[in-house]
Structure 1
Amino acid sequence: MISIEQIYKKDIDLCYELDSDTISLWNKTQWANEFKKEDTKIFGLLITNLVIGICVFQVVLDEAQINYFVVNKKFRKRGFGSYLMSYLIKKCEKLNLRKILLEVSQGNVTAEKFYSRFDFSTVGIRKNYYKDGSHALLKEKKLTTK
Protein backbone atom coordinates (compact mmCIF):
# COMPACT_ATOMS: atom_id res chain seq x y z
CA MET A 1 0.00 0.00 0.00
CA ILE A 2 1.29 3.45 -0.95
CA SER A 3 0.82 6.35 1.45
CA ILE A 4 2.21 9.79 2.18
CA GLU A 5 2.71 10.75 5.80
CA GLN A 6 4.29 13.61 7.68
CA ILE A 7 7.74 12.80 9.04
CA TYR A 8 8.82 14.12 12.43
CA LYS A 9 12.10 14.93 14.17
CA LYS A 10 12.34 11.42 15.64
CA ASP A 11 12.93 10.18 12.06
CA ILE A 12 16.10 12.22 11.38
CA ASP A 13 18.17 9.04 10.99
CA LEU A 14 15.74 7.70 8.40
CA CYS A 15 15.92 10.98 6.42
CA TYR A 16 19.70 11.10 6.65
CA GLU A 17 20.02 7.49 5.52
CA LEU A 18 17.85 7.99 2.42
CA ASP A 19 19.69 11.22 1.63
CA SER A 20 23.08 9.50 1.99
CA ASP A 21 21.97 6.75 -0.40
CA THR A 22 20.72 9.22 -3.03
CA ILE A 23 21.81 12.86 -3.44
CA SER A 24 23.83 13.41 -0.23
CA LEU A 25 22.53 16.94 0.20
CA TRP A 26 22.50 17.37 3.99
CA ASN A 27 24.35 16.06 7.03
CA LYS A 28 22.49 15.15 10.24
CA THR A 29 22.83 18.67 11.66
CA GLN A 30 21.31 20.15 8.52
CA TRP A 31 18.44 17.65 8.73
CA ALA A 32 17.88 18.61 12.37
CA ASN A 33 17.78 22.28 11.33
CA GLU A 34 15.08 21.55 8.73
CA PHE A 35 12.86 20.08 11.44
CA LYS A 36 13.31 23.26 13.52
CA LYS A 37 12.26 25.68 10.77
CA GLU A 38 8.90 27.28 11.24
CA ASP A 39 6.34 26.42 8.56
CA THR A 40 8.47 23.55 7.21
CA LYS A 41 6.75 20.28 6.41
CA ILE A 42 8.50 16.99 5.76
CA PHE A 43 6.56 14.23 4.05
CA GLY A 44 7.53 10.66 3.37
CA LEU A 45 6.31 8.46 0.55
CA LEU A 46 5.84 4.97 1.96
CA ILE A 47 5.23 1.52 0.57
CA THR A 48 3.80 -0.36 3.54
CA ASN A 49 6.22 0.92 6.25
CA LEU A 50 9.25 1.55 4.02
CA VAL A 51 10.02 5.21 3.27
CA ILE A 52 11.03 5.40 -0.39
CA GLY A 53 10.77 9.16 -0.93
CA ILE A 54 10.97 12.42 0.98
CA CYS A 55 9.80 15.95 0.25
CA VAL A 56 10.73 18.93 2.43
CA PHE A 57 8.99 22.22 1.76
CA GLN A 58 8.65 25.49 3.58
CA VAL A 59 5.72 27.87 3.31
CA VAL A 60 6.78 31.51 3.08
CA LEU A 61 3.82 33.89 2.86
CA ASP A 62 1.91 32.66 -0.21
CA GLU A 63 4.65 30.48 -1.68
CA ALA A 64 6.09 27.02 -1.07
CA GLN A 65 9.83 26.49 -1.37
CA ILE A 66 10.82 22.87 -2.03
CA ASN A 67 14.08 22.40 -0.15
CA TYR A 68 14.45 18.68 -0.77
CA PHE A 69 12.79 16.13 -3.04
CA VAL A 70 14.04 12.59 -3.64
CA VAL A 71 12.92 9.04 -4.35
CA ASN A 72 15.07 6.01 -3.51
CA LYS A 73 17.04 4.91 -6.59
CA LYS A 74 15.49 1.42 -6.51
CA PHE A 75 12.00 2.93 -6.92
CA ARG A 76 12.65 5.53 -9.63
CA LYS A 77 11.00 5.53 -13.06
CA ARG A 78 7.89 3.84 -11.65
CA GLY A 79 5.69 6.87 -11.01
CA PHE A 80 6.44 7.29 -7.31
CA GLY A 81 8.07 10.71 -7.75
CA SER A 82 5.05 11.87 -9.75
CA TYR A 83 2.75 10.57 -7.03
CA LEU A 84 4.67 12.56 -4.39
CA MET A 85 4.82 15.72 -6.52
CA SER A 86 1.10 15.55 -7.32
CA TYR A 87 0.39 15.25 -3.60
CA LEU A 88 2.57 18.28 -2.87
CA ILE A 89 0.89 20.39 -5.56
CA LYS A 90 -2.59 19.52 -4.27
CA LYS A 91 -1.51 20.29 -0.69
CA CYS A 92 -0.16 23.70 -1.75
CA GLU A 93 -3.36 24.48 -3.66
CA LYS A 94 -5.43 23.63 -0.56
CA LEU A 95 -3.23 26.05 1.40
CA ASN A 96 -4.13 28.73 -1.21
CA LEU A 97 -0.48 29.24 -2.15
CA ARG A 98 0.30 31.14 -5.36
CA LYS A 99 3.37 29.22 -6.47
CA ILE A 100 5.96 26.57 -5.74
CA LEU A 101 9.66 27.34 -6.04
CA LEU A 102 12.71 25.08 -6.17
CA GLU A 103 16.25 24.95 -7.44
CA VAL A 104 17.94 22.17 -9.37
CA SER A 105 21.42 21.68 -10.76
CA GLN A 106 21.64 22.57 -14.43
CA GLY A 107 23.46 19.27 -14.95
CA ASN A 108 20.61 17.19 -13.51
CA VAL A 109 18.81 16.55 -16.80
CA THR A 110 16.56 13.85 -15.31
CA ALA A 111 15.26 16.19 -12.60
CA GLU A 112 14.83 18.99 -15.15
CA LYS A 113 12.62 16.77 -17.31
CA PHE A 114 10.69 15.62 -14.25
CA TYR A 115 9.91 19.16 -13.09
CA SER A 116 8.98 20.33 -16.59
CA ARG A 117 6.28 17.62 -16.69
CA PHE A 118 4.65 19.49 -13.80
CA ASP A 119 4.90 22.89 -15.57
CA PHE A 120 7.85 24.23 -13.59
CA SER A 121 9.59 26.90 -15.64
CA THR A 122 13.08 28.33 -15.22
CA VAL A 123 12.88 31.87 -13.83
CA GLY A 124 16.53 32.45 -12.92
CA ILE A 125 20.03 31.04 -12.59
CA ARG A 126 22.47 31.07 -9.67
CA LYS A 127 25.90 30.77 -11.29
CA ASN A 128 28.45 28.38 -9.78
CA TYR A 129 26.02 27.61 -6.96
CA TYR A 130 26.91 23.99 -6.24
CA LYS A 131 30.19 22.58 -4.87
CA ASP A 132 31.06 21.14 -8.28
CA GLY A 133 30.70 24.60 -9.87
CA SER A 134 27.42 23.84 -11.64
CA HIS A 135 24.68 26.43 -11.85
CA ALA A 136 21.38 26.22 -9.99
CA LEU A 137 18.29 26.71 -12.08
CA LEU A 138 15.54 28.49 -10.17
CA LYS A 139 12.21 26.93 -11.07
CA GLU A 140 8.67 28.11 -10.44
CA LYS A 141 5.23 26.61 -10.82
CA LYS A 142 2.23 28.91 -10.63
CA LEU A 143 -0.75 27.39 -8.86
CA THR A 144 -4.43 27.74 -9.51
CA THR A 145 -6.12 28.38 -6.19
CA LYS A 146 -9.81 28.60 -5.50
Structure 2
Amino acid sequence: MISIKQIYEKDIDLCCELDSNTISLWSKEQWVNEFKKDGVKVFGLALENLIIGICVLQVVLDEAQINYFAVNKKFRNKGLGTSLMNYLIKLCEELNINRLLLEVSKKNITAERFYNRFDFFTVGVRRNYYKDGSDALLKEKKLTTK
Protein backbone atom coordinates (compact mmCIF):
# COMPACT_ATOMS: atom_id res chain seq x y z
CA MET A 1 0.00 0.00 0.00
CA ILE A 2 1.32 3.41 -1.02
CA SER A 3 0.94 6.42 1.25
CA ILE A 4 2.37 9.91 1.58
CA LYS A 5 3.23 11.20 5.01
CA GLN A 6 5.09 14.10 6.54
CA ILE A 7 8.62 13.30 7.67
CA TYR A 8 10.21 15.05 10.63
CA GLU A 9 13.78 15.77 11.68
CA LYS A 10 13.86 12.64 13.84
CA ASP A 11 13.67 10.65 10.58
CA ILE A 12 16.70 12.39 9.07
CA ASP A 13 18.61 9.11 8.66
CA LEU A 14 15.86 7.90 6.28
CA CYS A 15 16.37 11.02 4.19
CA CYS A 16 20.15 10.57 4.10
CA GLU A 17 19.84 6.92 3.16
CA LEU A 18 17.40 7.55 0.31
CA ASP A 19 19.49 10.49 -0.92
CA SER A 20 22.70 8.43 -0.94
CA ASN A 21 20.91 5.74 -2.98
CA THR A 22 19.44 8.18 -5.51
CA ILE A 23 20.82 11.61 -6.42
CA SER A 24 23.38 12.10 -3.61
CA LEU A 25 22.51 15.77 -3.38
CA TRP A 26 22.97 16.63 0.30
CA SER A 27 25.19 15.73 3.23
CA LYS A 28 23.65 14.93 6.62
CA GLU A 29 24.50 18.48 7.73
CA GLN A 30 22.61 19.89 4.73
CA TRP A 31 19.59 17.72 5.60
CA VAL A 32 19.71 19.02 9.20
CA ASN A 33 19.81 22.61 7.91
CA GLU A 34 16.92 21.96 5.53
CA PHE A 35 14.65 20.83 8.36
CA LYS A 36 15.45 24.06 10.24
CA LYS A 37 14.36 26.41 7.44
CA ASP A 38 11.13 28.36 7.85
CA GLY A 39 8.23 26.99 5.85
CA VAL A 40 9.86 23.64 5.05
CA LYS A 41 7.77 20.49 4.94
CA VAL A 42 9.26 17.11 4.08
CA PHE A 43 7.05 14.39 2.63
CA GLY A 44 7.82 10.73 2.29
CA LEU A 45 6.37 8.37 -0.26
CA ALA A 46 5.94 5.09 1.61
CA LEU A 47 5.37 1.55 0.40
CA GLU A 48 4.12 -0.22 3.51
CA ASN A 49 6.70 1.11 6.03
CA LEU A 50 9.53 1.64 3.54
CA ILE A 51 10.23 5.23 2.43
CA ILE A 52 10.82 5.03 -1.32
CA GLY A 53 10.59 8.73 -2.19
CA ILE A 54 11.10 12.10 -0.58
CA CYS A 55 10.13 15.64 -1.42
CA VAL A 56 11.20 18.79 0.41
CA LEU A 57 8.82 21.70 -0.11
CA GLN A 58 9.47 25.22 1.15
CA VAL A 59 6.54 27.62 1.27
CA VAL A 60 7.15 31.38 1.33
CA LEU A 61 3.98 33.46 1.27
CA ASP A 62 2.17 32.52 -1.96
CA GLU A 63 5.06 30.63 -3.58
CA ALA A 64 6.57 27.21 -2.97
CA GLN A 65 9.92 25.76 -3.96
CA ILE A 66 10.64 22.06 -4.38
CA ASN A 67 14.12 21.85 -2.87
CA TYR A 68 14.43 18.08 -3.23
CA PHE A 69 12.50 15.40 -5.12
CA ALA A 70 13.66 11.81 -5.56
CA VAL A 71 12.27 8.30 -5.82
CA ASN A 72 14.32 5.16 -5.13
CA LYS A 73 15.66 3.82 -8.46
CA LYS A 74 14.05 0.41 -7.86
CA PHE A 75 10.60 2.03 -7.80
CA ARG A 76 10.83 4.41 -10.75
CA ASN A 77 8.63 4.23 -13.84
CA LYS A 78 5.72 2.84 -11.83
CA GLY A 79 3.76 6.10 -11.43
CA LEU A 80 4.91 6.64 -7.84
CA GLY A 81 6.73 9.91 -8.52
CA THR A 82 3.62 11.06 -10.34
CA SER A 83 1.54 10.29 -7.23
CA LEU A 84 3.92 12.32 -5.07
CA MET A 85 3.94 15.27 -7.49
CA ASN A 86 0.13 15.23 -7.80
CA TYR A 87 -0.08 15.28 -3.99
CA LEU A 88 2.26 18.30 -3.83
CA ILE A 89 0.39 20.22 -6.50
CA LYS A 90 -2.94 19.60 -4.77
CA LEU A 91 -1.43 20.66 -1.41
CA CYS A 92 -0.08 23.86 -2.95
CA GLU A 93 -3.46 24.67 -4.45
CA GLU A 94 -5.09 24.15 -1.04
CA LEU A 95 -2.48 26.51 0.47
CA ASN A 96 -3.31 29.14 -2.20
CA ILE A 97 0.17 28.95 -3.70
CA ASN A 98 0.36 30.85 -6.99
CA ARG A 99 3.50 29.28 -8.38
CA LEU A 100 5.65 26.26 -7.73
CA LEU A 101 9.38 26.47 -8.44
CA LEU A 102 12.23 23.98 -8.74
CA GLU A 103 15.61 23.54 -10.34
CA VAL A 104 16.97 20.53 -12.18
CA SER A 105 20.28 19.71 -13.82
CA LYS A 106 20.25 20.27 -17.55
CA LYS A 107 21.94 16.85 -17.80
CA ASN A 108 19.03 15.13 -16.02
CA ILE A 109 16.84 14.73 -19.09
CA THR A 110 14.61 12.12 -17.42
CA ALA A 111 13.78 14.48 -14.55
CA GLU A 112 13.25 17.41 -16.88
CA ARG A 113 10.76 15.40 -18.96
CA PHE A 114 9.02 14.32 -15.75
CA TYR A 115 8.58 17.95 -14.63
CA ASN A 116 7.48 19.06 -18.09
CA ARG A 117 4.60 16.56 -17.91
CA PHE A 118 3.27 18.65 -15.00
CA ASP A 119 3.52 21.91 -16.99
CA PHE A 120 6.73 23.17 -15.44
CA PHE A 121 8.41 25.58 -17.84
CA THR A 122 12.05 26.68 -17.90
CA VAL A 123 12.23 30.32 -16.81
CA GLY A 124 15.98 30.68 -16.26
CA VAL A 125 19.38 29.00 -16.13
CA ARG A 126 22.10 28.97 -13.48
CA ARG A 127 25.35 28.32 -15.34
CA ASN A 128 27.83 25.78 -13.90
CA TYR A 129 25.62 25.38 -10.83
CA TYR A 130 26.25 21.74 -9.90
CA LYS A 131 29.47 20.09 -8.70
CA ASP A 132 29.91 18.41 -12.09
CA GLY A 133 29.75 21.80 -13.84
CA SER A 134 26.28 21.27 -15.30
CA ASP A 135 23.74 24.07 -15.53
CA ALA A 136 20.62 24.24 -13.37
CA LEU A 137 17.37 24.85 -15.21
CA LEU A 138 14.98 27.00 -13.18
CA LYS A 139 11.45 25.74 -13.71
CA GLU A 140 8.09 27.19 -12.74
CA LYS A 141 4.52 25.95 -12.70
CA LYS A 142 1.69 28.45 -12.41
CA LEU A 143 -1.10 27.24 -10.16
CA THR A 144 -4.73 28.18 -10.18
CA THR A 145 -5.77 28.61 -6.60
CA LYS A 146 -9.25 28.44 -5.11
What secondary structure, in the 3-state scheme, does the structure 2 residue paired with 1:74 have?
helix
Counterparts of 2:30 and 2:127 in 1: how far apart (Å)?
Answer: 23
Give runs of aligned pairs for residues 1-146 of structure 1, distance below 5 A: 1-146=1-146
TM-score with structure 1 length normalisation? 0.99
Counterparts of 1:29 and 1:108 in 2: how far apart (Å)?
Answer: 25
- What per-residue deviation string (whole Å, max 9, x for no partner) do you get for residues 1-31 of structure 1? 1110000011010100000001000010100
Root-mean-square deviation (Å): 0.5
Counterparts of 1:131 and 1:16 in 2: how far apart (Å)?
Answer: 18
Cα deviation, residue 61, structure 1? 1.5
Which blocks of at least 5 consecutive residues in structure 2 are unaligned?
none
Cα deviation, residue 117, structure 1? 0.3
Counterparts of 1:91 and 1:80 in 2: how far apart (Å)?
Answer: 17
Percent of pairs with identical residues: 74
Counterparts of 2:128 and 2:28 in 1: how far apart (Å)?
Answer: 25
- What per-residue deviation string (whole Å, max 9, x for no partner) do you get for residues 72-130 of structure 1? 00000000000000000000000000010000000100001000000000000001111
Counterparts of 1:31 and 1:6 in 2: how far apart (Å)?
Answer: 15
What secondary structure, in the 3-state scheme, does the structure 2 residue paired with 1:134 have?
coil
TM-score with structure 2 length normalisation? 0.99
Counterparts of 1:82 and 1:95 in 2: how far apart (Å)?
Answer: 20
Q: Give every structure 1 segment of 4 or more consecutive aligned residues whose post-TM-superposition deviation is greater than 6 Å.
A: none
Which blocks of at least 5 consecutive residues in structure 1 are unaligned?
none
Cα deviation, residue 60, structure 1? 1.1
